[in-house]
Copies of this chain bind each other. A is one copy, B any other.
Amino acid sequence: MSKIRIGLDLYGGDNAPESTIQGAIFAFENKFLEDAELVIVGETTEEDKKKLQKYNVSYLEGKNLVDNTTKPTQILKLKESSIYIGCQNMKNSNLNAFVSAGNTGALLTAGTFVAGRLKGIKRPALALALPGKNGKPRILVDAGANAEVKAEHYFDFAREGIAYAKFLGIENPRVGIINIGTEEEKGPQLVKEAAEVLKENNINYIGFVEAREIFDDRFDVLLTDGFTGNNILKTIEGTAYYILNELKSSIKSGGLFTKLGALMMKGSLYSLKGKIDYRQYGGTFFLGVNGHLVKAHGSSDSEAIANALYVAYKASKEDLLSNILI
């Protein structure tokens, strides 16, 4: 396979398939995919195909069989579903990457068991780039794939996170384990054992990190179990929304001066909103499987889909996965 081929799930996500098609157009118009071929997996209508005919797009048949009620393991029987087909084509090396905004559990299961795990990796995990001080991103692994983990899995998470960090241009990424204190004796047995596992391996392991430091510049890769990671992620989201809403309502209930002030600050307030919206980073990698599997947010609009495609393309071009097995 010489040409890069990026798969895109036509289905899944609150705004699909419109957002998928529009996202593809947005990606091509903005040259996000450069010389790559986009492969839309679904039952694309002739009308939509017409919209895309001037771009480098091909099609794979895949059915719309998965929704929010689909249980993770069910996907293994839905062999005609777009998610299954997408993952299968990564396994066959027919696709370098696959982007989907669909059911997370189903996608991760298909990633693990249809695309299959990379040799040497027991636990693929969701790796997410968060904004950080100085404009530098930091990577959170596992952001929600593995609700129950063992200490040894932190070594997988570390390699996955490091690969992602390197892909984002961070040399020799500093790795920390999220804990409720930075002292070695703090926290549950699991994280203490995980720290030992990392120390035994050739990793730039710095120590424990408290969640309040997530946005600071002391660590590049933050490791935790999928339960905690997902809670942290959703807490960031909930807090950011709460703060922006409080600000909005205080502007609304404020006097003319406040309203005028807000208007004058509009640019700053918008750029703030952009900075804390991690979704603009364009998707989360499910790392550790055969292929660059990108989970786009369920509420992705066309721009978010285009960003996810961009990330998938860049990861494929630079072969992010080759960094995992160190």
8 Å CB interface, A258-301 against B: 258, 260-269, 271-272, 275-276
- Tell whether A133 is near chain B: CB-to-CB under 8 Å: yes
Instruction: Please measure, in the bound complex, the distance between the C-alpha atom of A264 and the C-alpha atom of B265, giving whole angstroms.
Output: 10
Instruction: Please measure, in the bound complex, the distance between the C-alpha atom of A262 and the C-alpha atom of B245, giving whole angstroms.
Output: 17
Chain A positions 224 through 252: 1 when the CB is less than 8 Å from some CB of chain B, otherwise 0? 10111011111111111111011100110
Q: Determine which residue in A237, A242, A257 has the highest number of CB atoms from chain B within 10 A of its CB, and name it.
A: A242
Chain B residues near A231 (CB-CB < 8 A): 178, 180, 211, 224, 228, 231-232, 235
| Contact (Cβ within 8 A) B234 A236 | no
- Tell whether A29 is near chain B: CB-to-CB under 8 Å: no
- Identify which of B227, B242, B265, B266 contacts A228 (C-beta below 8 A): B227
Segment at the interface with B among A32-40, A47-55, A183-191: A183-191
- Identify which of B189, B213, B246, B276 contacts A272 (C-beta below 8 A): B246
Chain B residues near A212 (CB-CB < 8 A): 234-235, 237-238, 241
Q: Please tell me how many copies of the chain the complex holds.
A: 2
A270 to chain B, nearest CB (A): 10
| Contact (Cβ within 8 A) B239 A180 | no
- Tell whether A67 is near chain B: CB-to-CB under 8 Å: no
- Tell whether A254 is near chain B: CB-to-CB under 8 Å: yes
Chain B residues near A237 (CB-CB < 8 A): 212
How big is the A interface, by class?
A: 35 or more
Instruction: Please measure, in the bound complex, the distance between the C-alpha atom of A173 and the C-alpha atom of B5, giving whole angstroms.
Output: 53
- Tell whether A148 is near chain B: CB-to-CB under 8 Å: yes
- Tell whether A315 is near chain B: CB-to-CB under 8 Å: no
| Contact (Cβ within 8 A) A258 B267 | yes
A179 to chain B, nearest CB (A): 8
- Tell whether A215 is near chain B: CB-to-CB under 8 Å: yes
| Contact (Cβ within 8 A) B187 A147 | yes
Chain B residues near A232 (CB-CB < 8 A): 211, 231-232, 235
8 Å CB interface, A68-94 against B: 71
Q: Which 6 A-B pairs have the closest CB atoms?
A: A261-B264, A261-B265, A211-B234, A212-B238, A212-B234, A215-B242
Add 8 more A-B contacts to A211-B235, A257-B264, A261-B266 (CB < 8 A). A211-B233, A211-B238, A243-B272, A247-B268, A247-B272, A258-B265, A261-B263, A262-B268
A-B contact pairs, 10 of them (CB 8 A): A147-B187, A187-B227, A215-B242, A235-B235, A235-B239, A240-B243, A250-B272, A261-B264, A261-B265, A265-B265
Q: Which residues of A contact B (CB under 8 A)?
A: 71, 133, 144, 147-148, 178, 180, 185, 187-189, 210-216, 224, 226-228, 230-243, 245-247, 250-251, 254, 257-258, 260-269, 271-272, 275-276
